[in-house]
Chain A
Amino acid sequence: GEDVEQSLFLSVREGDSSVINCTYTDSSSTYLYWYKQEPGAGLQLLTYIFSNMDMKQDQRLTVLLNKKDKHLSLRIADTQTGDSAIYFCAESHGSSNTGKLIFGQGTTLQVKP
């Protein structure tokens, strides 16, 4: 079945770049997403990438997609303390077109001043 895997924790210093990695199994996924969850809040869509793209850049965020290896990454440039949160990778259930998203376990990003 579909599965999305992420490492659970990443710690960086303020000003450094952060790279959060994700692997997925569904080769028919049409969209892949990154969500951010701050403490006590719901999930906020950060960015998404179509499966026919290799890269997408949006200000400090860069998404890289390697379809061959089913690997997705999120790079945050110049990481700030306000970037501390849990980051979820998600893939769309491409074959069924029901809109279901499969989420990873989430990566907790800790930014040290």
Chain B
Amino acid sequence: NAGVTQTPKFQVLKTGQSMTLQCAQDMNHNSMYWYRQDPGMGLRLIYYSASEGTTDKGEVPNGYNVSRLNKREFSLRLESAAPSQTSVYFCASSRDRGNYGYTFGSGTRLTVV
């Protein structure tokens, strides 16, 4: 019972490089979310997908793009990484538009140098 799987777990990028963070869930959830976690700032929503085929901006979308590939997968892309994007990234999914809470992945620790 995998739940929400994120890859990679750790990544170091040079400024200007691009990469895609992968997220997949096996719980048949409709909604998926990408958050970033920074010390003392809690979690901030980057993008979300309320249902398959839709994506919307969250609180801090600049510098990111997303793709809801199918119901299971929701990827986050950094086109040109900047040091300000050094963070821990969490993917989450929910059954019913967030009601009853989210299931989170274990996170991707990204360092941009």
A25-49 interface (Cβ within 8 A of B): 30-31, 33, 35, 41-45, 48
A88 within 8 A of B: yes
The interface of chain B, by Cβ under 8 A from chain A, is 4, 31, 33, 35, 40-45, 48, 50, 56, 58, 90, 92, 94, 96-107
Which residues on the B side are within 8 Å of A4 (C-beta)?
42
Q: A8-B40, A106-B42 are in contact. Are A99 and B107 (CB under 8 A)?
A: no
Contact partner of A92 among B4, B45, B50, B99, CB < 8 A?
B99
Closest B residue to A41 by CB, please name it: B106
Whether A99 pairs with B42 at a CB distance below 8 angstroms is: no
Whether B90 pairs with A105 at a CB distance below 8 angstroms is: no
Closest A residue to B106 by CB, please name it: A42
Whether A43 pairs with B90 at a CB distance below 8 angstroms is: yes
Which residues on the A side are within 8 Å of B90 (C-beta)?
42-43
Q: Mark contacts of A1-16 with chain B using CB atoms, 8 A cut-off: 1 yes-contact digit, 0 otherwise.
A: 0001000100000000
Whether B50 pairs with A99 at a CB distance below 8 angstroms is: yes
Closest A residue to B93 by CB, please name it: A99
**Assembly CA distance A75 to B92 (angstroms):** 26
* Nearest-Cβ distance from residue A88 to partner chain B, whole angstroms: 7
A24 within 8 A of B: no
What are the nearest 4 A-B pairs in CB distance? A99-B98, A99-B97, A42-B104, A45-B101
* Nearest-Cβ distance from residue A48 to partner chain B, whole angstroms: 5
